[in-house]
Chain A
């Protein structure tokens, strides 16, 4: 479905004095995917993102974007490479001295696009983010969600190979967050835009991301396609997505199932085998790739064949010893 690596980060370390902000980070983002980086405050998420376009120079490691090793580029070449990397910011970072259209035109000016071409492109971009007709306004006349749309239009001006987003929805209310995420998802689908986004909200990851990296203490604890992580025993992502009590009680069994949640596999197991199954807890979550359920049960009786049956039916079965 996708092959080409748009971002390849390896062995990334970043020190601020004695503070280790990044402690050996590897990250591979494929073309056309929405990749989320999740982690608590101070985990090093922003530092990682800012290393991708070299706003922050890594202490060690390499950063390759669209096949170009940015760490090796002289500043003029680096600036040219940055023109093909879009970035959106938590507090929008719009120029208050310019109109909406002027803000979107800014990167085009930086690239040396002629005036007439610029005007055409700005109109196109504003239309793309649903702000046509607002080009003459100043940023202070817009709502937060509209400001972020301007930020997105500006970030797309150079036809970037990737869009970087640092907590782009953290300053917005839930409904506005939703609409901005929908816009990003639409751009991803329609333009094939690759997005690397940083967030501390699981909801953002759940609703838009194809892949995720969970960071903590400057390291990536777990990473990969969400669909794969869900099927990985002991996955931290799965634990965090589903609101089940942790740790699981001794002897309990946790079942994770993808696909149609209506399939009556559990009752089938009870009918087929000499077991009693009581449900301790569970939920079904809608993820970008489809719905996933997770059920905590306790099984008594002839458990071994029942568990084998559940595994056979494609469920991830985790038995807590």
Chain B
């Protein structure tokens, strides 16, 4: 296969990866951030201790985290069909990617929020700040660099997951490497794909690190 033949394939695959990762990152933020906040707020000694609810959430997150992604992807096929009406294609891949990444990200959010000193939280309570104000104006802003770092790790993990998810019809770079490189013995294309993936991960990680560093005022 020549470069000219490879380039459009690579562009197309990269576009599909970007779509899968982009949408699932968005939904992961949407669900994972509140879940991570809930893990902290409802904990014993949290802003609003609700130990029973917190235990349920903790177990759910652990279940989600202990399933290997490939198993999860297949196990939730009925759910995927329910949500997007199909089980193949990019949209269908976003569902298992999100379900897989939400518990992962939620734990990272939890860790980042726990880094916020209890003294600043108490200072805000002493000023008469409500719980929502404390979450919005103290916990989240103070943990912001940590949240950005957590999101970066999550995006990198999603790029990895998306390579697996691609094989059930989402396309993308992983799928390209498997279909051409492995099944059709196009070794060069496989190598190029791998290099592209490595470069993307590097870029994402460096951008994330730089942003987290810039945001940190410690």
Contact = CB atoms under 8 A, between A and B. Distances in A.
Residue among B122, B123, B144, B217 having the largest count of chain A Cβ atoms under 10 Å: B123
A169 B175 CA distance: 62
A97 B128 contact: no
A189 interface: no
Interface of A: 53, 55, 76, 78-83, 85, 87, 89, 91, 93-98, 106-107, 109-111, 138-140, 154, 158, 164
A93 B142 contact: no
A44 B94 CA distance: 55
14 contacts: A78-B128, A79-B130, A81-B128, A82-B125, A82-B126, A89-B123, A93-B123, A94-B120, A95-B120, A96-B218, A107-B128, A110-B124, A139-B217, A164-B126
Residue among B126, B129, B133 having the largest count of chain A Cβ atoms under 10 Å: B126
Interface string B133-156: 100011001101000000000000
A109 B126 CA distance: 14
Given A55-B122, A93-B119, A140-B218, A110 B142 contact: no
Contacts, number: 66
Interface in B87-135: 117, 119-120, 122-130, 133
Contacts of B128: 78-83, 107, 110-111, 158
B216 to A, nearest CB: 8
Given A93-B120, A94-B120, A110 B127 contact: yes
A96 B142 contact: yes
Given A95-B142, A96-B142, A138 B129 contact: no
Nearest to B117: A93
B126 A53 contact: yes
A110 B129 contact: yes
A97 B144 contact: yes
A79 B129 contact: yes
B144 A106 contact: no
A138 B145 CA distance: 15
B141 A97 contact: yes
Contacts of B122: 55, 89, 93
A106 B124 contact: yes
Interface string B10-32: 00000000000000000000000
B137 A109 contact: yes
Nearest to B133: A110
A154 B138 CA distance: 15
A139 B216 CA distance: 12
Contacts of B124: 106, 110
B125 A83 contact: no
A87 B137 CA distance: 18
A93 B123 CA distance: 6
A91 B120 CA distance: 10
Contacts of A164: 126
Given A95-B138, A96-B218, A55 B126 contact: yes
